[in-house]
C-alpha cells in the first residue's frame, strides 16, 4: 500500500512516500480503507520527536481517520465490510479499573493511533473494533476526519476538566487551530461567553462566525489588556490553553480568584514560569488534559448530527503533499483542519 512516513525525526522534509505491506486485521480488529486523514499538531510533535520517544521505523502519522471498513478480524461479527466509519484514535487495554470506569484515557497503557502506532497517512490502517464509530451521514469523509481528536480533546477540557458553566467567561487561545475552533463551539454550546485569540483579521472573522463573542488579534494587542477591557477587569473563569510557553504566564494573569486553566498542549514551548504565590493565594486550578474517554465521542457525534457542532475544514490536499500540509500547520496558515486524502 501507499503511505507517507519517516525513518528519522526532523522537519517536514523527512516525510516521504513509502510502499508498505497492507496490514492484516487481528482477531478483534477491523481494517479501514482510509478516505481522509486530518492533521493535528500532534503529528508535528511526533515527526520532530522528543527525548524518550521510541517508534518502530518507518513511522506513519495520522490520528484523525475517516474511511470504509475493508476487512474484519475473525472475532468481529457486528461491523460489516463497506460500513462508512471514523476512528476514535485512543487506544487502551479495555480491562483495567480506569477503562471499565469510562476513564480509558487514564489507562496506564493509553496510546494514540498515529503517535504510538502506525496511523492514517496510508491507504489502509488496522484498529480495534471498539475504536470505530459510524460516520455522520451528513458529512463527507473529509469533514468527518476533522472530528475525533480535536473535538474529543476540547470536550474533555471544557466539560470534564474545567466543568465550564453557563454564563461563565472563557478565553480560547488560537481559535484558528483545530482544537481551538472546536473549543469555541463547545464553549458556546455550554452557554459561556467566549473571547478568542488569533493572528489575522481573517481568522478572527471566522472565529466570530463559529460563535466567539469577542476576538483579539494577539499580534497587534496584548491579550491580557484586552481581556481586562472586555470583561471590565472581571477576568475570565476559564482559560483554554494549548499554546504553551509563549502564553502561559499571561494566561494565568487572565484568571480571577478561583479561576481555572486547562491545557492540552505546548506548541510554542513546553516550559513556563509559574509564581506559586499567585497560584495558592488566588486559589487557581491548573488542569492537564489529553484526549478523552471513548464514550464521549458518541455524544459529540450526536451533537454534530443535530447541527449543534460542526467540523472546521480548511483545505484538502493529496497524501503526497503531506510535507506542504505540515508546513501550513507549523506556519499557522490554516483555520481549522488540513486534511489529506490517499
The reply to whether 171 and 121 lie within a common domain is no
pTM: 0.94
What pLDDT was estimated at residue 246?
A: 78
Contact predicate 321/341, CB 8 Å: no
- How far apart are the C-alpha atoms of 65 and 33, rounded to whole Å? 10
pLDDT in tens, 320-332: 999 999 999 988 8
pLDDT category at 34 given cuts 50, 70, 90 is: very high
In this predicted model, what pLDDT tens digit does every residue of 255-267 receive, in sequence order? Answer: 999 999 999 987 7
The percent of residues above 70 in pLDDT, for the chain, comes to 100
At residue 274, the pLDDT reads 85
Q: What is the pLDDT of residues 166-215, one digit of tens each?
A: 999 999 999 999 999 999 999 999 999 999 999 999 999 999 999 999 99
Asked if residue 300 belongs to a domain, the reply is no
Question: What would the mean pLDDT of 151-177 be, rounded to a whole number?
Answer: 96
Q: Which pLDDT belongs to residue 243?
A: 84
For the segment 261-287, the average pLDDT, to the nearest whole number, is: 87
Which residues touch 307 (CB under 8 Å, ≥6 apart)? none
CATH number at residue 203: 3.40.50.720
| Residue 242 domain-assigned (yes or no) | yes
Do the beta carbons of residue 176 and residue 199 sit within 8 Å? yes
Which letter does DSSP use for residue 270 in this model? Answer: S
Query: Residue 114 domain-assigned?
Result: yes
What's the whole-number mean pLDDT along residues 51-56?
91
Asked if residue 167 and residue 258 are part of one domain, the reply reads yes
Task: Give dist(CA 237, CA 217) in Å, integer.
Answer: 21
Q: Is residue 167 part of a domain?
A: yes
Say if residue 219 is in the same domain as residue 244. yes
| Residue 306 resides in a domain | no
Do 90 and 143 sit in the same domain of this protein?
Answer: yes
pLDDT of residue 72: 97
pLDDT reported for residue 265? 81
SS (H, E, C) 95-126: CCHHHHCCCHHHCCCCEEECCCECCCCECEEE
Distance, first Cα to last Cα, the chain? 10
pLDDT of residue 247: 82
Same-domain status, 42 and 102: yes
Q: Average of pLDDT values for 14-22?
A: 97
| Residues 171 and 113 placed together within one structural domain of the fold | no
My answer on whether 142 and 165 are in the same domain is no
Percent of the residues in the chain that have a pLDDT greater than 90, as a whole number: 90
* Average pLDDT over all residues of the chain: 95
Write out the residue range of the structural domain in which residue 332 sits.
2-147+311-341
At 272 the pLDDT is: 81
25/95 same-domain check? yes
Query: Is residue 6 domain-shared with residue 143, that is, in the same domain?
Result: yes
pLDDT attached to residue 270: 77
Domain contains 296: no
- Please indicate, yes or no, whether residues 240 and 278 belong to a single structural domain of this protein: yes
In the block, cell 504553551 appears at 244
Evaluate if residue 268 carries a pLDDT over 80.
no
The count of structural domains within the chain is: 2
Write the pLDDT tens digit of every residue in 71-127: 999 999 999 999 999 999 999 999 999 999 999 999 999 999 999 999 999 999 999
Amino acid at each position: 500500500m501507499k503511505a507517507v512516513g519517516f525513518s528519522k525525526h526532523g522537519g517536514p522534509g523527512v516525510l516521504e512516500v513509502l510502499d508498505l505491506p497492507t496490514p492484516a486485521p487481528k482477531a478483534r480488529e477491523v481494517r479501514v480503507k482510509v478516505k481522509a486523514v486530518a492533521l493535528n499538531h500532534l503529528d508535528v510533535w511526533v515527526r520532530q520527536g522528543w527525548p524518550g520517544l521510541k517508534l518502530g521505523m518507518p513511522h506513519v502519522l495520522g490520528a484523525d481517520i475517516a474511511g470504509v471498513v475493508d476487512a474484519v478480524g475473525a472475532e468481529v461479527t457486528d461491523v460489516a465490510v463497506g460500513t462508512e466509519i471514523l476512528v476514535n484514535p485512543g487506544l487502551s487495554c479495555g480491562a483495567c479499573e480506569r477503562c471499565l470506569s469510562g476513564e480509558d484515557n487514564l489507562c496506564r497503557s493509553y496510546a494514540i493511533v498515529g503517535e504510538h502506532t502506525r496511523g492514517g497517512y496510508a491507504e489502509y490502517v488496522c484498529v480495534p473494533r471498539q475504536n470505530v464509530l459510524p460516520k455522520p451521514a451528513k458529512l463527507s469523509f473529509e469533514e468527518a476526519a476533522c472530528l475525533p481528536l480535536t473535538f474529543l480533546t476540547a470536550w474533555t477540557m471544557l466539560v470534564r476538566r474545567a466543568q465550564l458553566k453557563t454564563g461563565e467567561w472563557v478565553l480560547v487561545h488560537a481559535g484558528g487551530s483545530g482544537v481551538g475552533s472546536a473549543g469555541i463551539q463547545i464553549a458556546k454550546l455550554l452557554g459561556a461567553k467566549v473571547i478568542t485569540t488569533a493572528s489575522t483579521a481573517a481568522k478572527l472573522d471566522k472565529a466570530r462566525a463559529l460563535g466567539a463573542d469577542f476576538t483579539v488579534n494577539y499580534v497587534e494587542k496584548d491579550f491580557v489588556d484586552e481581556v481586562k477591557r472586555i470583561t471590565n477587569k472581571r477576568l475570565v473563569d476559564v482559560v483554554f490553553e494549548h499554546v504553551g510557553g509563549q502564553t502561559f504566564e499571561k494566561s494565568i494573569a487572565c484568571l480571577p480568584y478561583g479561576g481555572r486553566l486547562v491545557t492540552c498542549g505546548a506548541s510554542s514551548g513546553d516550559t513556563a514560569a509559574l509564581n506559586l504565590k499567585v497560584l495558592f493565594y488566588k486559589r487557581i486550578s491548573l488542569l492537564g488534559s489529553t484526549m478523552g474517554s471513548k464514550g464521549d465521542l458518541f455524544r459529540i457525534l450526536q451533537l454534530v448530527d443535530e447541527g449543534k457542532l460542526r467540523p472546521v475544514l480548511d483545505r484538502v490536499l493529496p497524501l503526497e503533499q503531506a510535507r506542504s500540509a505540515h508546513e501550513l500547520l507549523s506556519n499557522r496558515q490554516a483555520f481549522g483542519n488540513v486534511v489529506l486524502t490517499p
